[in-house]
Chain A
Amino acid sequence: MTIRHHLSEDILMAYAAGDLPEAFALVVATHVSLCDECRARSEAFDALGGAVVEDIVAEMASTSLEACMARIGTMPQANGRAPRRSNGILPAPLVDYVGGGLGAVKWRPLGLGARQAILQTSDSGASVRLLAIPGGVAMPDHSHNGLELTLVLQGAFRDANDRFGRGDIEIADDNVEHTPVAEAGQVCICLAATQGPLKFNALLPRLAQTFFRI
């Protein structure tokens, strides 16, 4: 599998900093699970966070080491856990949200044979869904009010300029006029996160600027 469309630096940095709404973070974690290059870049941003934090200190309460020692005295150490694994075409982060493999997805029809399943996230900044689009069919109602990340899990789609296959991520904002169409053949299954309509979570630095022209 050759991934040609990767995450941008600002999105990876926001993911490392913990500043992405959960819906976007899920798409990032899923892409990183498939893409060694973005995994390496993501870990480099974690390392940058480690170095930044090395430089700042706040004094702890005088009793805190003691208190922590007392706490760990009663705590078992973890005995390792089963590694989180993919299930079919769904990488592990997605398996966590779906509660299983593709068979566990609760699809709802969208018309023209397309289906979607909205995944539950706990913050309201953005929403995330799985989409299944039959070959040759256009992505349903594709207007969005902000950043949209679309990750291909199966099949492929094309827009005017490009082709997106498994593992590829499309980063679009509402300045991008695009009508993605699923490629003929296998049903195209994507994971798509969109900025929530109510609350603009301005944690996506430059993209925010692009949309709102602030």
Chain B
Amino acid sequence: MLLPPDTGVVRKGKTRLAEDIEQTDWAALVMAVRDHQDREAFASLFRHFAPRVKGFLMKSGASATLAEECAQDVMATLWQKANMFDPSRASVATWVFTIARNRRIDALRKARRPEPEDLPWGPEPEPDQADAYEAQQDTERLGKALAQLPKKQRELIDRAYFSDLSHSEIAAETGLPLGTIKSRIRLALDRLRSQMDVKARKE
């Protein structure tokens, strides 16, 4: 049974605590899970990411019950595959998103997602701190750039990620002609790019 995608899901937006996202070194927590099976670290990761994964899955059309179950699966996968996480290539937020996305494909479409070949090098036991920092910074910059998008563009980006809706279905829902949707998404991506460039130069 599908609940309306909005039920129980709130946008954090500007209310989120700055230190929540900016000060926590999530990658270090994943490394603690990997190296020491650190349950405290896991609990911190769970408290931050599980509600986001659940929100993502509900926005994608899963019922609250299914989303809850899948969010737990995703977090359990994080525990199991901590050694496959490479903080120099992706932030924890990005990694968790990819696990959640794959779980969604499996749960809602009963299909698998072919993954690219592994790079010739795997995760380093001691990842480069600067690279790891940079990956987390990128996620934060992207978050800020997203927050600055005009509301309508932001909504279209969200929909592209959250839902299994086609653009024609989005058009039916928003009443926008498809031509407008495609040009707005293009515009949103262009804006994100220029925001990223500006922010990267400032920092």
Contact = CB atoms under 8 A, between A and B. Distances in A.
Interface stretch (A48-56, A110-118, A154-162): A48-56
Contact of B72 (A19, A54, A57, A68): A68
Contacts of B42: 69, 72
Interface of A: 9-10, 13-14, 16-19, 21-22, 25-26, 28-30, 32-33, 39, 42-43, 46-61, 64-65, 67-69, 71-72, 75-81, 83-86, 91-93, 96-97, 121-123, 201-203, 205-206, 208-209, 212, 214
Contacts of B55: 53, 56-58
A208 B167 contact: yes
Interface string B143-181: 100110000000001101110101111010000001101
Contact of B8 (A32, A42, A47, A59): A59
Contact of B83 (A60, A78, A96, A206): A78
Nearest to A38: B116
A197 B55 CA distance: 34
Interface string B79-98: 11111100001110111111
Contacts of B160: 13-14, 17, 19, 205
Contact of B122 (A13, A58, A80): A80
Interface centre among B72, B164, B167 (most CB of A within 10 A): B167
A206 B177 CA distance: 12
A60 B79 contact: no
Nearest to B101: A18
B138 A47 contact: yes
A124 to B, nearest CB: 9
Nearest to A51: B142
Contacts of A55: 11-13, 16, 143, 146-147
Q: Which DSSP category, helix, strand, loop or mixed, fits chain B's interface?
A: helix
A97 B79 contact: no
A68 B75 contact: yes
Contacts, number: 237
Contacts of B19: none
Given A17-B160, A60-B50, A80-B122, A53 B72 contact: no
B72 A67 contact: yes
A202 B67 contact: no
Interface string B112-146: 11111110101000000000000000110011001
Nearest to B94: A50
Given A65-B46, A214-B178, 7 more contacts: A18-B101, A19-B160, A53-B161, A59-B54, A202-B167, A212-B168, A214-B171
B117 A33 contact: yes
B161 A52 contact: yes
Given A123-B111, A208-B168, A18 B94 contact: no
B28 interface: no
B112 A68 contact: no
Name the 8 nearest CB pairs between A and B, nearest first: A202-B166, A50-B94, A51-B142, A92-B117, A33-B117, A56-B55, A50-B93, A29-B114
